[in-house]
Amino acid sequence: MDKTFLKTVLAIAIPVSLQGVIMASLNMTDQVMIGQLGDASISAVGISNKLFRILLFVLTGIASGVSIYVAQYWGSKDRSRVRHVLGLGLVIGGAICLPFAIMTFFFNEHIMSLFTKDMAIIEAGSIYLQIVSLSYIPMMLTVIYSAVLRSTRHAQLPMIMSGVSVGLNVLLNYMLIFGNFGLPELGIEGAAVGTFIARTIEFAMMLAIIYARRLPGAYSFFDVFQIDKTLMKKFAITTYPIVLTEFFWATGEATYGVVYGRMGTSEITAMAVSEPIQLLSIGLASGIASAATVLVGNLLGGNQNDEAFLYAKRLFKMGLIVTISLSGLIILCASVYVSLYQISPEAHDLSIAVIIVFALLFWVKVSNMIVAHGVLASGGDTKYLFVIDTTTTWGFGVPVAFISAFVFGLPVYWVYFLLTLEEVIRLGLGLRRLYSKKWIRNLVEPQKDISG
């Protein structure tokens, strides 16, 4: 790999990866602190986060659409269209996020009862979910604006703001969960309040800096929401498959949560404990996928198709090197990490086993991020992504989860291993598509068939 390629990739990948690590650290800090309250509390937060991730991944789908078009418009030097893409992202994101927030605020107990029959978990989770739902709108705004900043090669600001958010959240958790500095001891409720305050301040500071420094996104209200109907149609055609893909994938993940919850409290605790280390590891490698979206998208927008294909192959190889190196470290750290939690011996052993399974398949997960949601998405190949993601999750993963758990009665780590094989199938289909070149399209000019 030449130095120019590495320098270009790392300029985007490092800030995005650091932001992913920071956000995962926030999740891990929440889990470790709440883990001091016992199995019920940590299971409650784990279930609540499953629901949150449905919204997050849908918003990520919208942000991916924003990134695809902003990257190509930026690459074609058509900077004026960026504000219209931002406006579309905010309108669609708000239309989805607001009803979701209202639903979780008022029907939290009903939602929790779908995942578990344990009343202690339902009660704790309902309290947490109701308060955290207030943070969904500022979180949505942060996700959309961050997509614009990354796609215009200003990835440092989202990273810095995430760092501020994590630091503030850790401090608030320390104060509110355990009642330090003269504040009341609120337990799981304090964790939710801390998350809400941190996310709100994160977006407020980001927006203030965007306007103060006149960064991409510093547009007038009327410019942002002056919707271009032609662009809206193109954006919708490209983005709706991504949103549906993320929704069905996230609901599949939530369905896995139902399976774990019905297997028992120790099982769902093990999955909740393993989640932060999974997010931290994926966060470390996520920058390569973001670099793929931005760099390949920039090249496609500038009609540099051969360079785009070359970058795609190099980014895939880089992902393999990074993830295989990290897998060994994850396995070595598993026992030390799990020992941070005050959980039952059974949950402790199951947690270590699940983390080891994750480490063995980590390279496959990240490769899918790079190939599918980085490279293929950059050319607007979103309908193909919808087909492979939805069929592998619902046609393979979900049935395998139910059969392995409730027909064969396998331990949770075997259930997790078997359902994760969906990622292997998805990667094979994604690589086949990558080398076909059918994904290579300029979305901001009339399309040309270059698949040969």
Tens place of pLDDT per residue across the chain (452 aa): 567 778 878 877 888 777 777 767 766 777 778 877 877 887 888 788 778 878 888 888 899 888 888 888 877 777 778 888 888 899 999 999 999 999 999 998 988 888 878 888 899 889 999 999 999 999 999 999 999 998 888 878 988 888 888 889 889 988 998 888 888 888 889 989 998 999 999 999 999 999 999 888 778 777 778 777 888 888 888 888 888 888 888 888 889 988 988 898 889 889 988 988 888 888 877 788 878 878 888 888 788 888 889 989 999 998 899 899 889 999 999 999 999 888 889 999 999 999 999 999 999 999 999 998 889 988 888 889 899 999 999 999 999 999 999 999 999 999 999 999 999 999 999 999 999 999 988 877 644 444 43
**pTM of whole model > 0.85?**
no
Place of tokens 């470390």: 284
Q: What pLDDT is recorded for position 41? A: 83
What pLDDT shows up at residue 302? 80
- pLDDT (0 to 100) of residue 1: 56
Instruction: Show Cβ contacts of residue 391 under 8 Å, excluding neighbours closer than 6 positions.
Output: none
Q: What is the residue-wise DSSP string for 202-260?
A: HHHHHHHHHHHTT-TT---HHHHT---HHHHHHHHHHHHHHHHHHHHHHHHHHHHHHHH
Helices 82-106 and 119-132 meet at what angle, rounded to 10? 140
Assess contact for 219 and 171: CB atoms under 8 A.
no
CA distance linking residue 259 with residue 263, whole number of Å:
6
Mapping DSSP to helix (H, G, I), strand (E, B) and coil, where does residue 234 land? Answer: helix
Confidence (pLDDT) at 26: 67
Classified as helix, coil or strand, 353 is helix
Candidates 309, 361, 347, 297; CA nearest to 152 is 297
Angle between helices 345-370 and 305-338 (to 10 degrees): 170
- Name the packing angle between helices 188-212 and 39-75 (round to 10°): 20
Q: Which pLDDT does position 327 carry in this prediction?
A: 92
Neighbours of 135 (CB within 10 A): 22
